Amino acid sequence: MRKKMTFAICIGLLAAALTGCWDIHYLTKKKIINGISLDASEDGQVAAAVRTLILDSKGSGQFEVKDQLIQATGDSVLHIGSIMDSMLPGTIEATKTHVFIIGEELAKRGVMSTLEFFYRDPKGYLTSNILISKGLASEVLAIKSAENSPAAYSIKQMVEGAVAKTIIPEQTLFTLWSQMTAPGVDTVLPVIHKTKNKALVVDNIGLFDGSRYSGVTLSRDESMMLLLLMNKLNKRVLLDIPMNQSSNERDTDEAAAKMITFQVRKEKRTMDVSVDKNTQQIECAVKVDLYGDISSYPTDEGGKVDRGRLKKELAEALNIRASNTANKLLNANCDALGIGRKLRVSHPELWKSIDWKNEYKDVKLKTSVQVHIRSTGVIS
């Protein structure tokens, strides 16, 4: 009997100490942030804008989701957070933030010190997408989305769509940290910008030089090419290639409008880094084999596709594109392909003796693209 009593008391005591009493958080008392933009401000300060969700209960478990834009300036993210907290009802909660947009100027200053808080906080949500904006990031976040859905969700969906089509790399806070600090590789981030008619577009890639944004962006075509060179084909990629017209057609206006679309479904890439024994010249040869289908081939002639010729023409155009992309990488001093990483593994002695950041510009980067047409759709 006595034993049972002590047991019951123990259980009672333990139950009384249940943790919910201390660490309980009510969703209704939270202000949930789902998008953050960070810009450089004067004196090294940071200007931030956030999108916070407003959940309007419509009864019977239904909620209407709206969002609101708040802006504040401060010295660090947490500092801004406290300022915003005082501006808003409820405690702000950045534990489910879907997008981070970094302004161009701040990115050039380096972003890691600004983002540090999210890495340190155990509740930090590191799978949020991170983007760079041309111009002010707050303007991007301030965009009115056509539907009533919160702006940050729209941006997130745009990013997801572009990632699936291999236009931009999938970058989250988590992947960013390792890439920024890894030796012998530089990171690239997707770039978001506003078009003249105030729509948002995510189809460029911004190149980083070490921990700072170099200011160089790749165009849509080059972005896709870079991802292919990096062997980062997602589900598919649609390569638009201006058609090489036969000589008699070349002068007409029509020529410019014609595009072949080649859909890549599979790629094989080899990357070889070698060092010339005599000149110590570092060479890198990237060879990409693309397998895919012709998705669009608008010709007037209406004839069959000459696969052999088309293959050659596509490869030619893509080769030019690839070498342009490679040149841009070298000029921006952005080792996105991770040549340094390969060099460190294959030539550890050389790696220790050189300053990679200075050496990278002089690397001979050779690219070659091979095209394999597997089908031409349902018509030939």
Partner 1 sequence: MNHSVTRPQLFFLIVKTQIGIGLLSLPSKIQSSAKGDAWISVLMAGAAIQLLLIVYSQLLRKFPNQTLSDITIRLFGVYIGKAVNFIYYVLFVLIAGYAITLYVRLVHIWMLPMTPGWVLLLLIIGTGIYLALENLRVIARFFVLTSVLFGLLILISTLNFTNELQVANILPVGESGFAHMVQGSEKTVFAMFGFEVILYFAAQVQNNGKSLIRVFSFANGFVTLFYAYFVFLCLIGFSPKVLERVNEPVLYMFKGLTYQLFDRLDLIFLAIWIIPMTATIVSYLCLAGKSLTANQSSYRKLIWFSGVLVYLLGLYLSSMESIDLFRKWVEYGYLAMIAALPFLLWLASFLLKNKKKVGSA
Q: Are 342 and 273 in contact (CB under 8 A)?
A: yes
SS3 category, 196:
coil
Site for partner 1 in 333-362 (CB under 8 A): 338, 341-342, 344-345, 348
Can you tell me which of 154, 172, 245, 376 binds partner 1, judged by CB under 8 A?
A: 172
Residue of 9, 10, 87, 256 interacting with partner 1 (CB under 8 A): 10
Q: Torsion-angle region of residue 215: left (phi > 0), alpha (psi -120 to 50) or beta?
A: left
Nearer to partner 1, 182 or 256 (CB): 182
Apex CA 175: angle with CA 272 and CA 48, to 5°? 135
Nearer to partner 1, 116 or 249 (CB): 116
What's the closest the beta carbon of residue 364 comes to partner 1, in angstroms?
A: 21
Closest CA to 195 of 225, 166, 158, 170: 158
> Which residues does residue 133 pair with via DSSP β-bridges, in sequence order?
103, 192
Q: How far is the CB of 341 from partner 1 (least distance, A)?
A: 5
Rg (CA), the chain: 26
Question: Closest CB to partner 1 among 164 and 345?
Answer: 345
- What is the closest distance, in whole angstroms, from the C-beta atom of residue 96 to partner 1 in the complex? 8
CB 229 to partner 1: min, Å: 16
- Kindly write out the interface string for residues 177-216 of this chain, putting x where it contacts partner 1 by CB under 8 A and - elsewhere: xxxxxxx---------------------------------
Nearer to partner 1, 183 or 298 (CB): 183
Q: How many whole angstroms separate alpha carbon 100 and alpha carbon 131?
A: 6
Q: Which of residues 106-125 bind partner 1 (CB under 8 A)?
A: 122, 124-125
Burial degree of 25 (CB within 10 A; 0-12, 13-18, 19+): exposed
By beta-carbon proximity to partner 1, the closer residue of 210 and 215 is: 210
The nearer residue to partner 1, 118 or 213, going by C-beta atoms, is 118
52 vs 187 by CB, closer to partner 1: 187
Q: Please provide the DSSP assignment of 242-282 as one string.
A: E----TTTTTSTHHHH-EEEEEEEEEEEEEEEEE-TTT--E
Is residue 352 within 8 A of residue 340, CB to CB? The reply is: no
Site membership for partner 1, residue 321 (CB under 8 A):
no
Least CB distance from residue 287 to partner 1, whole Å?
19
Question: Is the CB of residue 220 less than 8 Å from the CB of residue 204?
Answer: yes
Of 372, 365, 369, nearest to 291 by C-alpha is 372
Question: Nearest CA to 135 among 201, 74, 80, 192?
Answer: 192
Minimum CB–partner distance for residue 19 and partner 1 (Å): 5
Footprint of partner 1 on 42-101 (CB under 8 A): none
Q: What are phi and psi of 371, to 5 degrees?
A: -115, 135
Q: Which of 5, 13, 27, 379 binds partner 1 (CB under 8 A)?
A: 13
* CB closer to partner 1 out of 85 and 249: 85
Number of residues that bind partner 1 (CB under 8 A): 29
40-51 burial: b if 16+ Cβ within 10 Å, else e:
bbeeeebbbbbb
Distance separating alpha carbons of residues 43 and 24, to the nearest angstrom: 39
Give least dist CB 21 to partner 1, A: 8
Instruction: Candidates 4, 23, 144, 147: give the one binding partner 1 (CB under 8 A).
Output: 23
Residue 366 phi, psi (nearest 5): -110, 130
Binding mask 122-161 for partner 1 (x = CB under 8 A): x-xxxx----------------------------------
Measured on CA atoms in the order 35, 39, 42, 44, is the torsion positive or negative? positive
The stretch near partner 1 (CB under 8 A) out of 12-20, 134-142, 220-228, 315-323 is 12-20
Residues of the shown chain interacting with partner 1 in the complex, contacts defined by CB under 8 A: 10, 13-14, 17, 19, 21-23, 122, 124-127, 172, 174-175, 177-183, 338, 341-342, 344-345, 348
